[in-house]
Structure 1
Amino acid sequence: MTTPDLPRTVVVHHRSGIGDLIWHIPYLRAIAAVSEGGKVSVIARPSCRAAEVLAAESCIAEVIEFDRKPRKSERRVGRHDGLGAQLAFVAELRARHFGRIFIFSGRARYAALALLAGIPRRAGFGFTAAERLLLNQPPYIRPYRGPGNWVYPEATDFCVAHGLVSGPVVPRMAVAMAALTSAERDLAPLPEPRYAFSIGTSEARKNWGAERFGALAVALAGRGGSVVLLGGPAEQGAAESILAAVPAALRSRMMVSAQASVQRSAALLRHCQYCVGNDTGVLNMAVANGVPALGLFGATPPLAHDPLLQALAGQGMDAITVDAVVARLAQLGAP
């Protein structure tokens, strides 16, 4: 008896954040393991930076951007917002001759695009009757109703239902060797323990603020450690404000990395001993690279998908004090 050929597979990742995509990495690997060539293609929004997040993943064949309805903060029109652009996107998918699609979403739109693209096997969450009419590969799952964020639990339930995994898989991220080597060299002058600060945020309400980050940097550097301020180009101003709050004598223990490369940020994290900061992509990237992290959750429910990620919660970010952060870091083993 011969084993049938494995299908050429594409996966839809609907969520818009880097952290959301990182949570899906183990499940992309699981799908790739039962797909043609041990690889999958991934459809993702530009904001989750999939091409960079997944750059070192050997199981990724390609990333296909679907740019519909960008975040309001981006203040732009998506390339695929119009009907004509979406039909052109369908034509691109049809030309790739995918045999199967896994849709990590309960949106009927993706199932409709897959049907129009001629993808014969279509699996998705199946939250609605409309979506199930367009899908043909049950089983389906129910929306997550438990505490905290729903994205990782729903992704897990979907993969368990389809026999891809037996239970939750803690996300871990691959990083390019060149990026790791460069980060090790650049961080060599900074003494250990090195604390990475997650200073970026997609929403102002989740931001602990430059003043408190500055005070925390002073406290940790004053104890002999060093601090790496991590974020994207949008965080350059915040990083400068944090540096301004640090006495000149301690600034040699500080490093700013406010740049666009996800692989660079992940590599820097690999050479830090702790991460602390806002609920954003860097925090999730830290634990996905094996770095213990303390997330400050004053505006969102604490995350609980990884034992390396601990939470310090408050009724608003202003309620989380610098002393409380220092004390909690000590409980995690920080000097």
Structure 2
Amino acid sequence: MDKEAIKRILVRGPNWLGDAVMCEPALRGLRRLFPDAQIALLVKPAVADLFTGHPALTRVLTYDSKGCHAGLFGKWALAEQLRRQSFDLALLFQNAFEAAFLTFLAGVPRRYGYATDGRSLLLSNPVAVPDRRALNHQVRYYWDLLKPLGLTGDPPAPELVVSPEEEQAMAGRLAQGGLTANDVVVGINPGSTYGGAKRWLPERYAEATERLCRTLRESRNQQVGVVIFGAKGEERLGREIAARLSSPSLVLSGATTIRELMAALKRCAMLLTNDTGPMHIASAFQVPLVAIFGPTDWRTTSPFGSAHAIVRQPVDCAPCLLRECP
């Protein structure tokens, strides 16, 4: 491939928040391979804001599969929109047949993606799926997709960016909730949209948080506050845990945008969390964290890097990947 001829690149990003964070090192790797190309990232609305202002990207495109791009007519309209932008190369981090079909319809001449979901014939360059028995981390899975294009070395840890204005706005919001700039902030993320099997018990979250706050107060001689994170529908869970805490707390469950969530997680001195998207976001900001794993595979989707600890019970049935424990 003549890399100088590649002027416009389309990347189909993953659909889940955590997976999107884990593909971020590959985006920087792609930029390294094509420093002068325009790189557009196509993702679902829930993921798009994650990459606002990301230095590896020229722009972020939204694939609204439940809105204007729903159904066959919506997908055809999206393919036509992509066709008009004359992309030279498509990279498919999303594994579904649909991702290959859209870029095929859009007339992108070079289409790289893993040979999954029966889509090999729609890819100009299908890439062999790594041996799952090797248990490679998902960060490496995305990184290795670029090796046929010449990417070398090992992936770095994911990194995300928020603006100083976003950090200042969140600092003001925390102050309104009683947490000052001098406070040590402990974050807890007790929910999971994946399902109940990922959730540690709320009373244990409260007990562990109480002990952690007490230890931090004694060791740092500072006020310690707690921020409780969660998705819409998890507000009651957040309030239940907050009611058990003696430290000042602010429940942000269901009350943040993705950008606000990022700024709030970055402010934390530590995060106690289930295996969720916010776990990966915090890790991308180098926030030390303790992650509780149940049904999912800690070997492939744990926070990438060293500033974290994994807590799990080594039962025979794990990882089962079930959403609810039978």
Q: Which TM-score bucket, shorter chain as reference? A: 0.7 to 0.9
Post-superposition offset of 1:53: 0.6
Matched with 2:267 is 271
Matched with 2:252 is 257
> Residue 133 in 1 paired to residue 89 in 2?
no
> Residue 51 in 1 paired to residue 48 in 2?
yes
1:1-335 pair list within 5 angstroms: 4-13=4-13, 15-35=14-34, 37-46=36-45, 49-68=46-65, 80-127=69-116, 130-137=118-125, 140-146=127-133, 151-185=138-172, 186=174, 189=180, 192-202=183-193, 203-223=195-215, 224=217, 225-246=224-245, 250-251=246-247, 253-258=248-253, 259-302=255-298, 303=302, 305-314=304-313
**Separation in 2 of the partners of 1:45 and 1:123?**
20
Post-superposition offset of 1:30: 2.3
CA contact (8 A) 1:10 1:40 kept: yes
Q: Secondary structure at the match of 1:152?
A: helix
Q: Secondary structure at the match of 1:287?
A: helix
Show CA shifts across 1:111-168 (max 9, x none).
Answer: 222122111111111247x533222236x23244136686433212212332234222
Q: Secondary structure at the match of 1:276?
A: strand
Post-superposition offset of 1:277: 1.3
Q: For the structure 1 residues 5 and 149, does the alpha-carbon distance in structure 2 shift closer, same or farther, using more than 3 Å as the test?
A: closer
Post-superposition offset of 1:191: 5.8
Post-superposition offset of 1:276: 0.9
Show CA shifts across 1:294-335 (max 9, x none).
Answer: 10012222116322232100268xxxxxxxxxxxxxxxxxxx
Post-superposition offset of 1:232: 3.0
CA contact (8 A) 1:192 1:273 kept: no
Q: Secondary structure at the match of 2:98?
A: helix
| Aligned length, in residue pairs | 298
**Separation in 2 of the partners of 1:149 and 1:18?**
19
The alignment's TM-score, normalised by the length of structure 1, stands at: 0.79
Q: For the structure 1 residues 60 and 276, does the alpha-carbon distance in structure 2 shift closer, same or farther, using more than 3 Å as the test?
A: same
**Separation in 2 of the partners of 1:17 and 1:269?**
18
- The one-letter code matched in structure 2 to 1:260 is T
CA contact (8 A) 1:8 1:35 kept: no
CA contact (8 A) 2:8 2:87 kept: yes
Matched with 2:318 is none
**Separation in 2 of the partners of 1:144 and 1:111?**
21
In structure 1, list runs of 5 or more residues that go unmatched: 69-76, 317-335
Q: For the structure 1 residues 118 and 57, does the alpha-carbon distance in structure 2 shift closer, same or farther, using more than 3 Å as the test?
A: same
CA contact (8 A) 2:166 2:263 kept: yes
Greater mean alpha carbon deviation, residues 20-29 or residues 192-201: 192-201
CA contact (8 A) 1:99 1:120 kept: yes
The alignment's TM-score, normalised by the length of structure 2, stands at: 0.81
CA contact (8 A) 2:6 2:89 kept: no
Q: Secondary structure at the match of 1:221?
A: helix
Matched with 2:221 is none
**Separation in 1 of the partners of 2:108 and 2:257?**
33
CA contact (8 A) 1:160 1:167 kept: no
CA contact (8 A) 1:270 1:291 kept: yes
**Separation in 1 of the partners of 2:95 and 2:239?**
41
Alpha-carbon RMSD: 2.7
- The one-letter code matched in structure 2 to 1:95 is R
**Separation in 2 of the partners of 1:276 and 1:161?**
38
| Seq. identity, % | 23
- The one-letter code matched in structure 2 to 1:189 is T
